Amino acid sequence: MTSRAKFIHFGLSVVILAIVCLFNTTRVRGQEAAVAPPSADAKATSDAEFIAAADEVLGKMSEITGLKLRTPLKKSLRSREEIRAYVIKQMNEEKTLAERYAGARSAEALGLIPKGFDLDAFMVNVLTEQVEGLYDPKTREFYIADWSPLSEQRMVMAHELTHALEDQHFQIEAWLKAARPNEDAELARDAVLEGSAMVAMIDYLMLGTGRSLKDLPEFDPSMLIGDLGSTATLQEAPPFIKDALIFPYLGGLTFSAAILKDRGWSGLPGLFEKPPVSTQQILHPAFYRSDRIPQSVTLPPLEKLLGSGWTKLDENVLGEFGWKEVLKQFLDGTRAKSLAASWDGDKYVLYEEKQSKRLMLVTRLHLDSEEHATRFSGQYSEVLEKKYSDRSNLFRRPNFFSFDGTDGGVFLYCFGVECVTMEGTTRKVFDGFTKAIEWPMAPQPTQRLEPAAPAKTAMIFGFTENNAAAGDVVLSPNFLQSQGFLFRAAHSEKRQIVRLLRSLPKAQQVFETFGD
């Protein structure tokens, strides 16, 4: 399993070298060619022009993807106000206020957004700022923003019309939602939708050159897209929000390009028939090809143990993408990526104390080897120390770490190929939890052992009975705080194209270089 990480890093470094060379050449050519001023095209489009362009692009996308148009499409130019109203309506329809609250609190507990961050308001702004076009599978209609020049609109159309054609053949909304309640699997499917539309868009861009994405040598196609995080609102976004918005597009592009390279567009129906099961398969297409399936991880119900003052807010799967984001908040990107790559399944659950709104976060992570579980133990204890600057009673043993933070005890314990964490609770609850998952009791500081013993025994018996009765864990449809929230917002807003247009001239130059 170690070889997997090594192989990937090796592959990437080669790719980066190749791309650097490629872009150096391109820049020289670009200076000579002189970039055409955008003004000729940068005027408002008339309805007639818009309809004609849409019909033309639709025909081309059907040729590229091999997907025939089965029913006529509705299409319209929309103002910023109309798109904003649509995004808000979609957000409200997609999730209740309570679900959005739960999502934001999970992101906060995981350290992905600052405490008290207004995720709802932020997402409305970022999505309405970013949206250039969208396809609404409910009404089978696609919209283009009326503020974009026609040349950019054509690129957006190429992307949106791919969604429309895929919808007519594969019913994308139902297909996407079939992954629920597993948010990691849903994000993986979203990456197929966005990624395949990105590949189709690049193929559209390449029409007339005799080349397509599959002619390019092995490299990371995300290098073509430039800085998607360059708009004003996104610049202020917590890094996690940027990553979560961009992942379906770029992660999806890399994945879809890798898979479609094998068979061309005739491989597309296969992606819908056998969707990737996790973001890990998106991040590592070889795992998709080899059918590597993550472990199914369960958490016991903790309600009895916590008492009636607590309520469960959220429960879901973070996936390799989610863990990479969590780790990135506290470790550097390279370590986070490498550590997350040993992910082999997880589950997290968030409880809230009703009165005080205090949170308790529990995670259970399955790693791909004992060696990696030990590595996770070491590095995650570093994460927890960075996350809680105010801590006391530190206690450390091999594969176990605990301390008291400002909002309760924090625990990290690894056993075999698994690790569990609990934040915002007591040693008593933690012991009840490890007992319920049938792990040996974690090492204890000796001075605490005797006085706590009788109460703990009683509690464990009570809990065990409860656990037997309530064997299955009820999954809430709530998303991983932020991850779920974000991709649903993006999706419900019907696949906005993040401002990739800005970077397309760069992509064009790269392809032109290949054409020589």
Window 344-363: residues binding Zn ion (CB under 5 A): none
Closest CB to Zn ion among residues 314, 493: 493
- Cβ atoms of 359 and 375 within 8 Å: the answer is no
User: Which own/partner pairs from 226-235 qualify as long-range (CB within 8 Å, at least 24 positions apart)?
Assistant: 226/500, 226/502, 226/503, 226/506, 227/502, 227/503, 228/498, 228/499, 228/500, 228/503, 230/499, 230/502, 231/129, 231/130, 231/499, 232/129, 233/122, 233/125, 233/126, 233/129, 233/130, 234/126, 234/129, 234/130
Query: Coil, strand or helix: which one is 404?
Result: strand
Question: What is the contact mask toward Zn ion in residues 372 to 401, using x (rule: CB under 5 A)?
Answer: ------------------------------
Closest CB to Zn ion among residues 159, 372: 159
Q: CB of 201: closest distance to Zn ion in angstroms?
A: 9
- Number of chain positions touching Zn ion (CB under 5 A): 3
Closest CB to Zn ion among residues 152, 194: 194
Q: CB of 144: closest distance to Zn ion in angstroms?
A: 13
Q: Which residue's beta carbon is nearest to the bound Zn ion? A: 495
Q: CA 50 to CA 160: how far, in whole Å?
A: 14
Closest CB to Zn ion among residues 194, 203: 194
Window 197-236: residues binding Zn ion (CB under 5 A): 197
Closest CB to Zn ion among residues 191, 460: 191
- Cβ atoms of 391 and 382 within 8 Å: the answer is no
Q: CB of 197: closest distance to Zn ion in angstroms?
A: 5
- Cβ atoms of 176 and 138 within 8 Å: the answer is no
Closest CA to 21 of 459, 386, 515, 514: 514
Closest CB to Zn ion among residues 120, 493: 493
Closest CB to Zn ion among residues 91, 197: 197
Element (H, E) at 513: helix 504-515
Q: CB of 198: closest distance to Zn ion in angstroms?
A: 8
Q: CA 445 to CA 456: how far, in whole Å?
A: 15
Q: CA 40 to CA 157: how far, in whole Å?
A: 20
Closest CB to Zn ion among residues 312, 491: 491
Q: CB of 193: closest distance to Zn ion in angstroms?
A: 7
Q: CB of 187: closest distance to Zn ion in angstroms?
A: 14
Q: CB of 172: closest distance to Zn ion in angstroms?
A: 10
Q: CB of 504: closest distance to Zn ion in angstroms?
A: 15
Closest CB to Zn ion among residues 364, 495: 495
Window 99-128: residues binding Zn ion (CB under 5 A): none
Element (H, E) at 36: none
Q: CA 362 to CA 121: how far, in whole Å?
A: 28
Window 242-271: residues binding Zn ion (CB under 5 A): none
Tokens of 86: 């649509």
Window 171-200: residues binding Zn ion (CB under 5 A): 194, 197
Closest CA to 480 of 300, 296, 349, 352: 349
Closest CB to Zn ion among residues 197, 412: 197
Q: Assess whether the previous peptide bond of 181 is cis (omega < 30° from 0).
A: yes
394-425: b (≥16 Cβ within 10 Å) or e = ebeeebbbbbbbebbbbbbbbbebbbbbbbbb
Distances (CA, A) of 358 to 265, 277, 388, 392: 50, 33, 15, 19
Closest CB to Zn ion among residues 495, 499: 495
Window 65-104: residues binding Zn ion (CB under 5 A): none
Q: CB of 139: closest distance to Zn ion in angstroms?
A: 16
Q: CB of 486: closest distance to Zn ion in angstroms?
A: 14
Closest CA to 128 of 503, 504, 498, 501: 498
* Helix%, strand%, coil% for the chain, nearest 5: 60, 15, 30
Window 448-507: residues binding Zn ion (CB under 5 A): 495
Q: Which residue has the tokens 């898979």?
A: 259
Q: CB of 183: closest distance to Zn ion in angstroms?
A: 19
Residues contributing to the site for Zn ion (CB under 5 A): 194, 197, 495
